[in-house]
Amino acid sequence: MKQLTKAEEEIMQILWHLKESNVNGIIDEMPEPKPAYNTVSTIVRILENKEFVDHRKKGKGYIYFPKVEKETYSNQSINQLMNNYFNGSFQSMVSFFMKKNEMKSTDLEEILKEINKDNK
């Protein structure tokens, strides 16, 4: 799966939230200053070429929707981060984030409880 640029990911976040939208609907969800219609339209077409987005015709325009689930992309991104910066070691990655974010061991225990709850 291809990596997204910051602008592409911003639009994907909006589409994941909205489930489907036309370009104007995407722009409405973006913070000020709003980008130009042509800019967003171009990024959406790039996302289609990367096979993250598809469309269906509605009237004279198109409705866009995600082809890739947010969780699928998140998992791929985390794995890529772990492989590129932590030699594929989940333990090294968690240790790094614990130190940098000054997490307490009780925080980690809470995370483990959540993980164990999800695995049941």
Q: Please name which of 53, 50, 47, 46 lies closest in space to residue 20, comparing C-alpha atoms.
A: 53
> Can you say how many angstroms the Cα of residue 96 is from the centroid of all Cα atoms in its chain?
22
Res 17 pLDDT > 90: yes
Crossing angle of helices 6-18 and 37-49, in 10° steps, is: 90
Query: Which CATH code fits 6-66?
Result: 1.10.10.10
**How buried is 56 (Cβ within 10 angstroms: 0-12 exposed, 13-18 middle, 19+ buried)?**
exposed
Tokens of 11: 């639009």
Query: Domain map of the chain by residue range?
Result: 6-66, 87-120
In this prediction, residues 70-98 reach a mean pLDDT of 91
Q: Give the model confidence (pLDDT) of 23-50 as tens digits.
A: 999 999 999 999 999 999 999 999 999 9
High-pLDDT (> 70) share of the chain, %? 98
In this prediction, residues 2-18 reach a mean pLDDT of 96
User: What is the pTM (predicted TM-score) of this model?
Assistant: 0.79
